[in-house]
Structure formats: C-alpha cells, structure tokens
Copies of this chain bind each other. A is one copy, B any other.
Amino acid sequence: MKRPLLFTVYGMFTLLFLLFFWYYGIRGSGQDDWNESSSGLSGDIEEKYVMVTFQSDIDYWRSIMKGFEDAAQEINVSVDFRGATRYDPDEEITVLEQVIARKPAGIAVTAINPQALNGAIDKGVQAGIPIVLFDSGAPESSAYAFLGTDNVKAGAQAAREMSRLLNGSGAVAVITQPNQLNHQERTKGFQDMISKAFPNIRIVEVADGKGDLEASAQAAKRIVKEHPEVDGFFATQANGGVGIGQAMKDLGLAGKKVIIGFDTDKGTLDLVKDGTINATLAQGTWNMGYWSLMDLFHLHHGIVQPNSRGPNGSPPVPPYTDTGITVVSRVNVEQYYAR
C-alpha cells in the first residue's frame, strides 16, 4: 500500500497545482498587458513618465504634480519630476534634453516660452517619445497635445463674476501684463464679455501692472485718483490682485472696491479670507497633471484614434484639453490652502 499512496498523493497535488496554475494563469494574464479586455487600464511599474517644469520650486506646480501622481497610481505606472530651478530657457532646454536621453515612456512639459523648447520637443517626438504640453504651450512644436486654461474663457468668467458683484452696473479697471499672450487673452475675454453682455459696466482703463506687486499697487492708486468713480478691479495675474488689495488697504478702501484676482497663492488667499479680494480664479491644475498622464499613457500604448499618425498630422489624442476655471471666494477659500 505504500507505493499506491505515494502515487495518489503525488497525483492529487499535481492536479491541484495545475488547476491553480491554470486558474490564476488565466485571471492574471494580461495584468501587465493592458490590451486584454478584462484587466482594466494598467501599465507597468517600470514604465516611467516624467514631468518637466521651470522655476521648479514654486507652489503653483504642486497640484499639477498631485494630479500627475494620482493618475500614475490609478494606472499603476511610475512618475518622476525634473525641473529647471530658475526662470531660464536654456536651463529648461538642458533639463528636457537630459530627460529625453533617458527615453522615458512619456514626458509632460510646461514651456517657459512658446518657442524656446521647440527643438528639444521635436527631437524627443522624432525619437518616438510621447510628449504633451501643459499650462504653457508651444503651438509650433510637434508635441501631441496641450492641456491648460482657456484664458479667453477665464476672462469672460471674471466679467460675469464682476457683473454679479456689482449688480450689473459700474466702472471697472483691468490691471494686466500687456506683452504676455495669456494675459492679453484674459483681458480680451473680460472686455468682450463686458461689451457683449453687460452694457451698464464701463471699463475706464486697462493698465500695466508689470506682473509686479508694487507696480500694480501704484497703478491701482493712480486709477482711484484719476477715476474716483471706479467700483472694481480685475487683475489678470496673482501679484496684480495682491497689489491692488494692498493699495486699497493703504487708501482705507479695502472692502469698498470689488477686486477679482487670479490664481491661489497664499498672498491672494489671505486677502480673499479677510474680504479685501472678493474672488479669485483658480485654474484646473489637478486636471492638467491628471489628464497629461492619461494622454501620455494612451500614446505610449497606442490606444488612440484609428488612422492617426497618417501623412496629414492626424490627432492620436485630443489636441487640446481645456482644464477649467473655478471661482474662489470666502465661501470656499479654506479648501485652497490645503492643496
């Protein structure tokens, strides 16, 4: 009976072993192969996607990086962050070229200006690396997509908020940076919406705040002097809003003039909280990071529009994603400190 028992045990385990191997083999198959229909969108933890920024230590990128990380966690891939520390095109070119040389699965990059990175981006795309742009684009580069704020719409949103706060009538001023495209667009969106939808609101001046707190404060003080009837200000840039707020405090007019700012840096949020700034526009930064990674993942795995990569510049992924704008006021300002 010794021999038969041995064979029975042997046979039983072999059978069980094969059964489990077969069962888990089937369920587990395609786990690293996203193309199997039942496994979900999932990459490989060895698959690395890199985000490239400039002025890499500013707070503004944080929520974008969080979105990039959150997406990576959902689809089981790795991320890395590289950035030029200074506001220096040459430094960002160098960083981007170093990243390209390591052949990652994809690169999301924000362009320090619309031209500087074109050569590096084109080289990367030609080497077969998916590259998308977020926040600041490079329209003439061969990057596959741009994900960022629609600045014309953001300006229009500011105009609607201004009208709501002024009950539809009053005199307003804009403080902007006239030589930068995104600020030109925000100003134009604001002006167009006012002239189209709010006939009782008059724009008394569009002034240059130079992207600087002090210059914006001085412009605001001058405008109040020259146009004492002014009821509200729209700043297309964070320092502008803080500068106007400071000016109104200095003049004893804090809370008496409507101020709409831009972005959610601590200086702006503090003035929203104390009532000096009535509202500020938060960009869809998490969306920029999250959907940049999604685009790169789809490009890397070829899950794209059929017939794309044809001879006529077809779009494998959506060429533009508007990441949205949220109005932040006293009601919801606390949430924005946490980001």
Shortest CB distance A79–B (Å): 13
Known contacts A21-B20, A76-B37; A324/B332 CB under 8 A: no
Within 8 Å CB of A271, what residues of B? none
Q: Is the interface of A mostly helix, strand, loop or mixed?
A: mixed
A252: Cβ under 8 A from any B Cβ: no
B331 touches A311 (CB 8 A): yes
**Known pairs A20-B20, A37-B73, A76-B37; A312 contacts B286 (CB<8 A):** no
A318 lies within 8 A of B314 (CB): no
A40 and B16 alpha carbons, distance in the complex (Å) = 29
Report chain B residues within 8 Å CB of A70: 303
**CB contact under 8 A between A318 and B324, given known A20-B20, A20-B24:** yes
A26 to chain B: closest CB distance in Å?
A: 10
Least CB distance, A42 to chain B, in whole angstroms? 2
Within the assembled complex, what's the spacing in Å between the Cα atoms of A218 and B286?
Answer: 52
A258-291: which have CB < 8 Å to B? Answer: 282, 284, 286-287, 290-291
A66 to B305, CA, bound (A): 10
A74-B326 contact in complex given A40-B39, A40-B41, C-beta closer than 8 Å:
no
Copies in the complex: 2
Residues of B within 8 A of A314 (CB): 324, 326
Q: Please name 13 further chain A to chain B contacts, defined as beta carbons within 8 Å, in addition to the given A27-B28, A28-B28, A74-B303, sorted by A numbering.
A: A39-B76, A40-B76, A67-B305, A284-B318, A290-B305, A294-B294, A305-B324, A307-B335, A308-B326, A310-B326, A312-B332, A314-B324, A318-B322
Interface string of A310-339 (1 = CB under 8 A from B): 111111011111111111110110011001
The interface-forming segment of A2-10, A174-182, A196-204 is A2-10
Q: A87 interface residue, CB < 8 Å from B?
A: no
Question: What is the total number of residues of chain A having a CB less than 8 Å from a CB of chain B?
Answer: 70
User: Distance in Å from the Cβ of A199 to the closest Cβ of chain B?
Assistant: 20
From B28, B282, B318, contact of A321 by CB (8 A): B318
Nearest B residue to A67, CB-CB: B305
CA distance A234 to B303 in the complex (A): 32
- Which of B20, B27, B40, B331 touches A75 (beta carbons < 8 Å)? B40
Determine the distance from Cα of A73 to Cα of B303 in the docked complex, in whole angstroms: 11
Q: Is the CB of B42 within 8 A of A41?
A: yes
**A31 in contact (CB, < 8 A):** yes
Contact code string A9-52 (vs B, CB < 8 Å = 1, else 0): 11001101100110011011001001001111111000000000
Q: Is A150 an interface residue (CB 8 A)?
A: yes
- A228 beta carbon closer than 8 Å to chain B: no
Cα–Cα distance between A24 and B70 once the two chains are bound (Å): 25
